[in-house]
Amino acid sequence: MLPPLKNGEVLRGRYKIRERIGQGGMGSIYLADDTRLKGRQCALKEVEYDRALPENIRDEARDQFLREATVLARLDHPNLPKVSDYFSNGPRDYLVMDYVPGNDLRTLLLEARRKKTFLKEADVLTWADQVASALAFLHSQEPPIVHRDIKPSNIKLMPQGLIKLVDFGLVKILAPEEVTITIIQGQGTALYTPLEQYGGSDVHTDIRSDIYSFGATLYHLLTNEPPVDARKRFLDPESLMPLRQFNTAVSPRTERAILWAMSLHPDERPETIDEFRKALLGYTEAPTLPISVRRARPQPIWDYFANTPEATLAWSAAVLFLVSLLATLVR
């Protein structure tokens, strides 16, 4: 790996690096000032190729990057950062995107967990509606575009409440005449990755892969617990706990929709993001318990009375009975 860019370094005679704000296996993300447009900040997504690969493979990867960058630069949606430029600098390639201020949802999730509380379901569904809008837009392109790395840290909440789905690092364009076209080869993040996305081939990845990752992301946001990854679930189908086992405030409707999206087999998931969104927001009904999940243990009878007036009366009666019984025995 080459050394990171230095603060103050200027790329393409235009983008002045402020700082590195992210780092991954294939490069870094930098915050930069656009010196041509005063006051504009942008994010530079760096792509660095494995130098151990044969030169012809690296050349093919760079051609692939340029083709996909051209497609991404044409996209315009309020819940996606705008790709405004792309260029090469030595052995590295760069995507230039709008800088998105605000916290990502992983930060909000960790804060809620630290406070021993949960994110409000109404808030999560409002955010989900916006993410679904972005995904429906990507999936409607010709050919469809699959994000492939949906997770809480790739969803940012801007100060005015607008959601942005960020990081095009693993985007796949579903061109039917080609086996696979990806900006950066990768598998996504294990906790949110569907079973078909593992392995070296992307042949079986389609828009339903995003639906799984989206559902797994919502599972985490509403429970404070990461979902069991798909490989473990394949070996132990009942290892996934229902959402309401962790957070009883989650509505049964929301739980059903999310578990539907997280079905292991793509054919058992919603066919489109819109179908999932309608079930999530209550416009249609999701199938009931569509996948194998660990069923809740039978609730102990005393739990039904806990923290209720009936509980106080029941315990008082029990105490009086025991006192009477002891008094009888003593006599």
User: Is 330 within the bounds of a domain?
Assistant: no
Residues 6+ apart with CB under 8 A from 313: none
pLDDT of residue 72: 86
Q: What pLDDT, on the 0 to 100 scale, is given for residue 259?
A: 97
The verdict on 91 and 108 lying in the same domain is no
188 pLDDT above the threshold of 70 = no
Q: Establish if 319 belongs to a structural domain.
A: no
- Do the domain assignments include residue 323? no
Residue 118 and residue 252 in one domain: yes
Q: Are residues 152 and 225 in the same domain?
A: yes
The answer to whether residues 213 and 130 belong to one domain is: yes
User: Which structural domain range is residue 32 located in?
Assistant: 10-98
The per-residue b/e assignment along 26-47, b for 16 or more CB within 10 angstroms, e otherwise, is bbbbbbbbbeeeeeeebbbbbb
Q: Which of 33, 93, 104, 149 is catalytic?
A: 149
Q: Do residues 195 and 85 share a domain?
A: no
With contact defined as beta carbons under 8 Å apart, do 171 and 183 qualify? yes
Integer-rounded Cα Rg, in Å, for the chain is 25
Q: Which residue has the tokens 């990845």?
A: 205
Q: Verify whether residue 206 is a known catalytic residue.
A: no
Residue among 191, 304, 192, 293 nearest 244 (CA):
293
Are residues 108 and 52 both part of a single domain? no
What is the model's pLDDT at position 24? 67
Q: Which pLDDT value is given to residue 299? A: 39
**Residue 92 dihedral angles phi and psi, to the nearest 5°:** -110, 150
Identify the CATH number of the domain in which residue 137 sits.
Answer: 1.10.510.10
3-state secondary structure at position 324: helix
- Among the listed ranges 64-68, 154-158, 267-271, 286-290, which one has the minimum average pLDDT value? 286-290
The pLDDT value given to residue 326: 60
Better pLDDT: 291 or 143? 143
Q: Where are the strands (E) in 49-154, listed by range? A: 83-89, 92-98, 103-104, 145-146
Higher pLDDT, 5 or 288: 5
Cα dihedral: 232, 237, 241, 244 (round 10): 140
Nearest-angstrom CA–CA distance, 284 and 181: 35
For the stretch 145-157, pLDDT in tens is 888 889 999 999 9
Computed over every residue of the chain, the mean pLDDT equals 83
The rounded distance, in Å, linking the Cα atoms of 131 and 304 is: 38
Model confidence, pTM: 0.80
Q: What is the model's pLDDT at position 2?
A: 78
Distance separating alpha carbons of residues 284 and 276, to the nearest angstrom: 9
Closest CA to 181 of 25, 73, 71: 71
pLDDT at 304: 32
**Listed range (25-29, 142-146, 154-158, 164-168) with the worst mean pLDDT:** 25-29
* In the predicted structure, residue 94 carries a pLDDT above the cut 60: yes
**pLDDT value for 47:** 87
- Residue 221's Cβ-count burial label (10 Å; 0-12, 13-18, 19+) is buried
221 pLDDT band, cuts 50/70/90, is: very high
Query: Binning pLDDT at 50, 70 and 90, where does residue 199 land?
Result: low
Residue 12 CB neighbour total at 10 angstroms:
13
Number of independent structural domains in the chain: 2
Query: Is the model's pLDDT at 86 over the cut of 50?
Result: yes
pLDDT number for residue 237: 86
- What are 32's strand-pairing partners? 17, 42
In this structure, is residue 214 part of a structural domain?
A: yes
Which tokens hold the place of 68?
């996909």
Question: Which of the listed residues 56, 75, 98 is the one where a domain comes to its end?
Answer: 98
Q: State residue 306's pLDDT score.
A: 44
**How far, in Å, CA of 258 to CA of 113, rounded?**
20
* 294 within a domain of the structure (yes/no): no
Q: What's the whole-number mean pLDDT along residues 99-126?
A: 96
With respect to residue 305, please indicate whether it lies within any of the assigned structural domains: no
Host H or E run for residue 216: helix 207-223
